[in-house]
């Protein structure tokens, strides 16, 4: 495939090769020169490339999609190792479908970014904070097909949304701890107002309720509590009557240590370091005195732990493939009903258990 060879040689996307050969959209001069040089170096007749491009364009097989971050610059998003890993998976998924990929940002969601203004993309995947307003994407979705990715939202979704099943995450974590023999369970988060933390807590409590119901009358009742610092938003009701709050993270951990649960689910790998440090300061050894499970299964955040905990893997590759596929469908069928598509997470036991 000449176009693929040229793109690989020039270090650009197939879509960029298409633009250079058809002059359909403006390309930076230095990039256009790289594409033309690649064609000459490969010895591919210009007519052959143009004929192929006309066939591809007529079949609408070459498209460009974007990853657009809303309310924050994309560098702030990609500083999160989980989001960075997800973007890498989207890049891979787009390449598999021979789709070009651009990155853009809209710190002010009502101000359209240049890439969209110049019609450089056919559709976009959106990264939106969990705490954002429901209408944050209204301006963008009026300009091109969009699919929200990652995060979570309570209630109906105003746009297509592909993410992990956060309730299932909590359920898997609770089930794992219960099967390890834990009866006093704890869920802890530093960000209780985030929708996906609330959903993970609901799944966690459901696992405890289910197992407690299965064992009634057998002295095996399971209890579960949520621990989190007081938020500027009133969210205690989202975690039920068993919520334990504190003025700050340190106060929350003091209350958790005082109650000495036997099983602990930390909502995010990013919070695990603080939890381990405070447990150690109280003379509690994770995986010995208390069973711990975290979520995200991010190597960059977990590999330095001597006692790496069990983790819930978000299935980022599957989320990326599903999101790119859904966006391509949305581009071709803009009037289809809005969908929320949830991808199943996976339990990853600690390394010693795998061995």
Query: What's the pLDDT score for residue 12?
Result: 78
Whole-angstrom CA distances from 274 to 80, 197, 250, 263, 301 are 17, 17, 9, 17, 12
Q: Is there a domain that residue 349 lies in?
A: no
Whether the predicted pLDDT of 79 surpasses 60: yes
Strands (E), the chain: 64-70, 100-106, 123-127, 146-149, 160-164, 184-188, 223-229, 243-246, 263-266, 291-296, 310-313, 340-343, 346-348
Q: Is there a domain that residue 285 lies in?
A: yes
- Residues 305, 330 share a domain: no
Q: Which of 89, 85, 116, 118 is nearest to 103 (CA)?
A: 116
Count how many domains the chain has.
3
CATH number at residue 27: 1.10.260
Give the residue-averaged pLDDT of 314-321. 97
- Residues 171, 123 share a domain: no
- Residues 180, 202 share a domain: yes
Q: Which of 32, 59, 44 is nearest to 4 (CA)?
A: 44
pLDDT tens digits, one per residue of 170-218: 999 999 999 999 999 999 999 998 999 999 999 999 999 886 555 544 4
- Residues 160, 179 share a domain: no
pLDDT tens digits, one per residue of 235-261: 767 887 778 999 888 899 999 999 999
Query: What's the pLDDT score for residue 241?
Result: 72
Provide the whole-model pTM: 0.80
pLDDT tens digits, one per residue of 90-142: 999 999 988 999 999 999 999 999 999 999 999 999 999 988 888 999 999 99
Mean pLDDT of the chain: 86
- Residues 186, 148 share a domain: no
Looking at the chain, the whole-number percentage of residues with pLDDT higher than 70 is 86
- The answer for residues whose C-beta is within 8 angstroms of residue 83's C-beta and 6 or more apart is 77, 127, 150
Q: Is there a domain that residue 351 lies in?
A: no
Q: Are strands 291-296 and 263-266 parallel, antiparallel or unpaired?
A: parallel
Whole-angstrom CA distances from 125 to 95, 148, 324 are 15, 6, 8
């Amino acid at each position: 495939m000449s176009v693929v060879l040229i793109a690989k040689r020039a270090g650009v996307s197939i879509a960029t090769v298409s633009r250079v050969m058809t002059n359909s959209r403006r390309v930076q001069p230095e990039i256009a020169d790289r594409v033309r040089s690649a064609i000459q170096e490969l010895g591919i007749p210009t007519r052959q490339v143009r004929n192929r491009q006309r066939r591809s364009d007529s079949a609408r097989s070459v498209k460009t999609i974007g990853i657009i971050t809303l309310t924050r610059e994309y560098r702030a998003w990609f500083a999160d190792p989980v989001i960075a890993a997800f973007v890498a998976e989207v890049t891979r998924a787009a390449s598999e479908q021979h789709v070009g990929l651009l990155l853009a940002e809209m710190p002010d969601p009502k101000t359209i970014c240049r890439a969209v203004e110049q019609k450089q993309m056919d559709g976009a995947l959106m990264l939106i904070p969990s705490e954002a307003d429901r209408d944050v994407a209204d301006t963008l979705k009026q300009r091109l097909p969009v699919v929200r990715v990652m995060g979570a939202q309570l209630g109906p979704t105003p746009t297509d949304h592909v993410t992990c099943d956060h309730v299932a995450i909590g359920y898997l974590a609770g089930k794992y701890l219960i099967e390890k023999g834990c009866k006093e369970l704890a869920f802890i988060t530093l960000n209780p107002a985030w929708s996906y933390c609330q959903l993970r807590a609901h799944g966690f409590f459901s696992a405890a309720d289910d197992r407690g119901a299965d064992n009634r009358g057998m002295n095996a009742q399971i209890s579960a509590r949520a621990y989190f610092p007081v938020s500027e938003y009133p969210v205690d009701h989202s975690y039920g009557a068993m919520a334990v709050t504190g003025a700050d993270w340190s106060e929350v951990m003091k209350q958790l240590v005082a109650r000495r649960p036997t099983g602990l689910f930390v909502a995010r790998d990013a919070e695990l370091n603080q939890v381990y440090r405070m447990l150690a300061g109280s003379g509690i050894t994770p995986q010995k005195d208390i069973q711990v499970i975290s979520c995200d299964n991010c190597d960059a955040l977990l590999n330095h732990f001597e006692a790496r905990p069990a983790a819930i893997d978000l299935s980022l590759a599957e989320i990326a493939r599903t999101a790119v596929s859904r966006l391509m469908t949305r581009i071709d069928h803009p009037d289809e009903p809005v969908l929320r598509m949830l991808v199943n997470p996976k339990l990853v036991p600690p390394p010693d258990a795998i061995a």
